[in-house]
Structures are given as structure tokens and as C-alpha cells.
Amino acid sequence: MVKDNCKILDCTIRDGGLVNNWDFSVDFVRDLYQGLSDAGVEYMEIGYKNSPKLLKGADSGPWRFLDENFLRDVIPHKTATKLSALVDIGRVDENDILPREDSMLDLIRVACYIKDVEKGLELVQTFHDKGYETSLNIMALSHVLDHELVEAFEEIAKSPVDIVYVVDSYGSMDAKDIEFLVEKFKKHLPNKKLGIHTHNNMQLAFANTLTGLQHGVTYLDSSVYGMGRAAGNCPTELLLGLLKNTNYELRPVLDIIERHMLQIRKTWEWGYIIPYMVAGHLNEHPRVAMALRDSEDRDKFVDFYDKLTSPEVSAAGSKAD
């Protein structure tokens, strides 16, 4: 019998925080941790472990700058569900990171663009030496040239990183793209575990995650009700319901959606929304679409499409990362 041999990493608080500026109550996060635990989800990414000294955002909720003492109050009793945090290159103070045995966190994930892979791997080494599980998440793979990726693989293969992620930052990939990338990662990184992080601009986040799994990815990112930046992520509830011959339970996460997510979705917007579809289709960062949704022109889809597809102006009208 076919068994889906995988681990789910729910990133509702971390990626969803990009939607609501991490405005999640402690009660909600506690409830979510219990729900994910009951559902059998292996990891909960509870926020960013960036440093407030290195990044503006004093108005953000506490999940953007995780503090160990705070975390201990939030989750006094850890279950089998491990905790993870994401850090960005140049925004994390290594001195903030306790040795794992003193920390609430189990996994630290390092997100970087291709040009910063070396810096990313230095951080990975630091966190690895402190005892953490580690991952490297190279963002915006759809904008990376093949030779850059192959060069990066050489460095990654030598590092102690446990998991390397295929990240579809712009929600622009289809099954063939995922298959191509996963096979390439497998070929160059035969000793690493692989993960996948998708966005739902073209309603392909869940399907692409399944494609990744079929080709050997074992760490699946998702968020409850798909809550994540712009079009959001692969919905956790779909993985819980659809993966074959696992011990996951759908019911506890339906309960979270019923009691919390419907209300959050009334206040904050994410999901399949036409400007995000257009951005995904055009393989663009969603920031211009997000700005549109924040303006009075939020539903002017044709104007937006014309702006992004006109050859006379820069597609985004914004600076590169």
C-alpha cells in the first residue's frame, strides 16, 4: 500500500503574520498549537527569530521577534509537535540564539536569495553547532538561473544543513516546474532531505505540494485555511485530509478554522484574488499586487494587468530586492 512518508510544517503564524503584521493573540497561538498537535502535525513554525535591533517593525506582534521567555509562557507544555522559526540573512543576531537544550525551538530555517547562499550556510553552521535541526530555503527560485543554482548546490552539499527547500515564492510554478526542480535538487543533493513551500496564486499550491511529495520531497509547508502572504499557501487541512495512510487527523484543524480562521479572514485578506493570480502568472513578486489591494483601485484588474504587461514601463515600477 502506498504510504505518504512526510512531515507537515505548519507556517500559519510565520507566513500568515505577513498578512496581519503578526497580530495573533496568545490564546489563538496556544489553541493553534494544541490543534496542530492533536492533528499530528510534526512542526509548527511559530514566527520569525529576527532581531528588533536589525529590522524596523516595533508595531509588529511578538511572533516577528520571538523571545524565548515569551515562548515559554505561550507554550508551557510542549507536545510531540516541534517548534520552528525562520530567520532572514542580515536580520538575525546570532547572540539571540540559545543553545538548543535551553531553547523552545527545535528547527531554525534560514531564508535567503540565491546571492546570499554563502551567508545562509554560515548561519546554518552556527545553528547546527548550537544543536538545532536546520533548513535552507532559497527564495524566488523561479528567478534563478541554472548555473547559479548548480554553484549553490556545491556549497550546500558540503554544509551540515538537514533540509533544503524548493520555494515557489511567486506562486508561478506548475507541476512540470516542480518536478524539474525537485529532480535537480535530488540529483545534486542526494544526502539532504527536501522540503517544499508553495504559494496559491494560481490555485496550484496544494497540487504542487503533492507533486513534490510524489517526487521525493518529505517536508511539506502549509498553513491553516491557506493563510499566508498574498495568495497564501498550501492549506494544512487539505494535506491532513488527503495524504494517504498517515495518522493525521483533520477534525482538530477544522475546529481551528471554525473558531478562529473565519473571523481572521473577515478582517484580513489572502487567497485566490485576481491581482495575485496575475502576478503569479507573470512570475512577479506580489508586492505590486499587494499595494493595489491596499488602494482604492483594488478591483481594477484590467488596468493592473495592462500596467504589468506593458513593454514600455518596468513591470513592477519598484526596486528589486
Q: Which stretch binds a copy of itself (CB under 8 A): 39-47, 65-73, 118-126, 206-214?
A: 206-214
- Pick one of 5, 203, 314, 318: the residue that binds a copy of itself (CB under 8 A): 203
**Residue type present at position 159:** S
> Scanning residues 241 to 260, which ones bind a copy of itself (CB under 8 A)?
241-242, 250-251, 254-255, 257-258
Residue 262 makes contact with a copy of itself by CB under 8 A:
yes
Helices (H), the chain: 12-20, 26-39, 68-74, 117-129, 146-158, 175-188, 205-214, 236-242, 251-256, 262-267, 274-281, 287-293, 301-309
Task: Verify binding: residue 40, a copy of itself, rule CB under 8 A.
Answer: no
Among 44, 75, 117, 210, binds a copy of itself (CB under 8 A): 210
- Identify whether the C-beta of residue 129 lies closer than 8 Å to the C-beta of residue 103: no
For 18, residues 6+ apart whose C-beta sits below 8 A from its C-beta are 228, 229
Taking CB under 8 A as the rule, does residue 237 contact a copy of itself? yes
For residues 85 and 204, which CB has a smaller minimum distance to a copy of itself in the complex? 204
Looking at the Cβ atoms of 114 and 274, the one nearer to a copy of itself is 274
Site pattern 279..308 for a copy of itself (x: CB under 8 A): --x-----------------xxxx--xx--
Q: Nearest CA to 268 among 292, 293, 289?
A: 293
Q: How far apart are CA 143 and CA 140, in angstroms?
A: 6
Tell me the backbone φ, ψ of residue 83, rounded to 5 degrees.
-110, 140
Q: Give me the residues that bind a copy of itself (CB under 8 A), please.
A: 174-175, 200, 202-208, 210-211, 235, 237-238, 241-242, 250-251, 254-255, 257-258, 262, 272, 274, 277-278, 281, 299-302, 305-306
